[in-house]
Amino acid sequence: MAFITITPPEQSEGDLADVYRRVAASRGGVAAVHQVQSLNPRVLSAHLDLYHAIMFQPSPLSRAQREAIGVAVSRANGCAYCVAHHGETYARLGSPPVEPRLLLWAKRLAREPERASAADIDELRTLGLEDRAILDAIQTVAYFSYVNHLVLATGLHLEEDFEATCRPELDE
C-alpha cells in the first residue's frame, strides 16, 4: 500500500483513532492518503483542516471549479491517485464546464511556480475572477501540489473501493 508504515483504522488508538473517526464520519471511510499520515496524527489533523478550508469554505470559486483545478494539477504532477479521487468527486458534482484557460494556468503554476507573474493574475482577471477567487485558485493549486507530493513520495496506490470516500459534501 505504501513505502512507509501505516496504521490502519482498526489498529488505531488515541489521537489517531479520533482523527480517523472524524474522517470516516465526513468522508465515508478513511482513504489511503489519510492512513499514510498515521504516524503523525497532528499533521493529519492539520491537513484535514486545511483541506476543508480550501475545498469546502464559501468561495467565489465553485466547489466544482476547485475540484477541476485539483484534477488538472494532479494530472500535471502525474498523480493518478488524486486524479481518480477528485475526478470522481468532480463527476459527482455534475462535471460542470470550467474555463479551460483557468485549468491551463493551474497546470502551469503546478509545474513551474517560479514562472508565476503579474501577467498571470491579469489573465485570470480577464476571466472575470476577482482577487479573492484568484487567491482561492492559488491555494487550491498549492494544496494539490502538496498532496500530490505526499502521495507520490509515499508510493500510494489507488484503493479498490476508493469511490466510497469521494463524497462531494461533508457531514460535519
Query: Whole-prediction pTM value?
Result: 0.94
Domain limits at 62? 9-165
Residues 157 and 149: their CA atoms lie apart, in Å, by 13
Q: Is residue 170 part of a domain?
A: no
Q: Is residue 62 part of a domain?
A: yes
Q: What is the pLDDT of residue 172?
A: 36
Number of neighbouring beta carbons within 10 Å of residue 40? 11
Counting the structural domains of the chain, the total is: 1
Q: Is residue 110 part of a domain?
A: yes
Q: Is residue 172 part of a domain?
A: no
Q: Contact 73/65 with Cβ under 8 angstroms?
A: no
**CATH number of the domain where residue 61 is located:** 1.20.1290.10
Identity of the amino acid at 152:
L
Q: What is the pLDDT of residue 171?
A: 39
Give tens-digit pLDDT for 141-155. Answer: 999 999 999 999 999
Please list the ranges in the chain whose pLDDT falls under 70. Answer: 168-172
Give tens-digit pLDDT for 124-144. Answer: 999 999 999 999 999 999 999
Q: What is the pLDDT of residue 122?
A: 98
Q: What is the pLDDT of residue 165?
A: 81
Residues 128 and 141: their CA atoms lie apart, in Å, by 19
Give tens-digit pLDDT for 35-51. Answer: 999 999 999 999 999 99
Q: Is residue 48 part of a domain?
A: yes
Q: Is residue 81 part of a domain?
A: yes
Q: What is the pLDDT of residue 170?
A: 52
